[in-house]
Amino acid sequence: MNRKSGGLMQELDKQEVGSLRTLSRQSLEPLYEQLAARIGAQIDSGELSAGTKLESEAELIARYGVSRITVRQAIAVLRKQGRLMARRGKGTFVAERVVSQRLDTLQGFYDALRSQGLEPQLQLLEFSPDAGLQDLARPSEADLPVRLKRLYSLDGQPFALVVGYLPIRAGEMSAEHARQMTVYQILSEHLGIRVAHADVTIRCQRPPADVAKLFGLKRSESMLVMDRQSFAHDRSVCEAMRIYIVAERYQFSLHVAGALDIARSVKPVASDDRPLLRRAASSVE
């Protein structure tokens, strides 16, 4: 290729890139939808990878030659689609992959991740034979003195903290086994307990200060909080668990036969503990 033809190719490349950055005011498609499509294409191509901070409003205005309201409408579209997320005081970021879990089957938290081709990183923060005795989050009627805490991460980013309470015999395990085994594996393989059913409550609330710090959240920000109690066949509580989850990274699905009357399921509660859903025979770790 001679210098002249090479220069022509470079000029064509520049024109092609420029056309991708230009929005058409003659199009019937609104400018904000065109801008949302442009940014969406960058996400699809990997040019904007998960966790990447989006350019500021001023930079997008200058790049595409549009108004501030157009930029905000485009971002709102992508946020509604779950492709962008706002972090208060930090900016707008490309959303991480959202993990989905069904609530109509008794499936563990770890197993739900693995079934979607995800390999979470686990860090055992605590395994104590008696810390649960002084923990007010433990169900008072349950004899579950053993407490474990595990941090789940995806792509190097923490997204869930599991705080579990187990029977006293679980304290005989090594910390390495506690790190590797799910709670349901501990019950079945180590304690010989078969879970008959589980009750799960899901709500959105502000986490305790230590949990907020662990995830780099402000105290005013909320997380999904799940409380689970599992029952053996003799109806005794064989484990309890509280899980804090970064809301943007997780969603739940439920198959219901016939109409679902939400109004009948809503129960008034005090403070910030707002129950979203209570479901038997459900799942978390």
Residue 169 has pLDDT above 80, yes or no: yes
Residue 153 has pLDDT above 80, yes or no: yes
Distance of CA 33 to the CA centre of its chain: 27
State how far the Cα of 137 lies from the Cα of 103, in Å rounded to an integer: 23
State how far the Cα of 198 lies from the Cα of 280, in Å rounded to an integer: 6
Most confident segment among 47-51, 135-139, 187-191? 187-191
Residue 284: how many other CB atoms lie within 10 Å: 28
State how far the Cα of 179 lies from the Cα of 176, in Å rounded to an integer: 5
Write out the two tokens for 259: 């109409």
Residue 257 has pLDDT above 90, yes or no: no
Residue 143 has pLDDT above 70, yes or no: yes
User: Which residue, among 87, 61, 82, has the nearest Cα to 72 in the 3D structure?
Assistant: 61
Choice among 20-29, 37-46, 175-184 with the minimum mean pLDDT? 20-29
Backbone angles phi, psi at 160, to 5 degrees: -155, 140
Classified as helix, coil or strand, 249 is: helix
Better-predicted residue by pLDDT, 108 or 40: 40
Choice among 57-66, 100-109, 183-192 with the minimum mean pLDDT? 100-109
Better-predicted residue by pLDDT, 18 or 33: 33
Classified as helix, coil or strand, 66 is: coil
**251 neighbors 100 (Cβ within 8 angstroms):** yes
Predicted confidence band of residue 283 (pLDDT cuts 50, 70, 90): very low
Residue 122 has pLDDT above 90, yes or no: no
Distances (CA, A) of 86 to 4, 119, 142, 210, 250: 47, 26, 40, 22, 16
Residue 61 has pLDDT above 80, yes or no: yes
pLDDT in tens, 219-233: 788 998 989 899 999
State how far the Cα of 38 lies from the Cα of 28, in Å rounded to an integer: 16
Residues 6 or more apart whose Cβ sits within 8 Å of residue 77: 32, 33, 36
Write out the two tokens for 187: 């019950």
Q: What is the DSSP letter of 28?
A: S
Kindly report the length of the chain.
285
Better-predicted residue by pLDDT, 240 or 119: 240
DSSP3 helix / strand / coil % (the chain, rounded to 5): 35, 30, 40
State how far the Cα of 200 lies from the Cα of 280, in Å rounded to an integer: 6
Predicted confidence band of residue 8 (pLDDT cuts 50, 70, 90): very low
Q: What is the mean pLDDT of residues 155-174?
A: 89
User: Which residue, among 186, 196, 98, has the nearest Cα to 148 in the 3D structure?
Assistant: 186
Residue 171 has pLDDT above 80, yes or no: yes
Residue 34 has pLDDT above 80, yes or no: yes
Mean pLDDT, the chain, whole residue set: 79
pLDDT in tens, 74-120: 999 988 877 888 877 788 988 766 666 566 566 666 666 666 666 77
State how far the Cα of 284 lies from the Cα of 224, in Å rounded to an integer: 13
Write out the two tokens for 220: 């005013």
Q: Nearest 5 degrees, angle CA 214-CA 78-CA 51?
A: 35
Residue 239 has pLDDT above 80, yes or no: yes
**273 neighbors 205 (Cβ within 8 angstroms):** yes
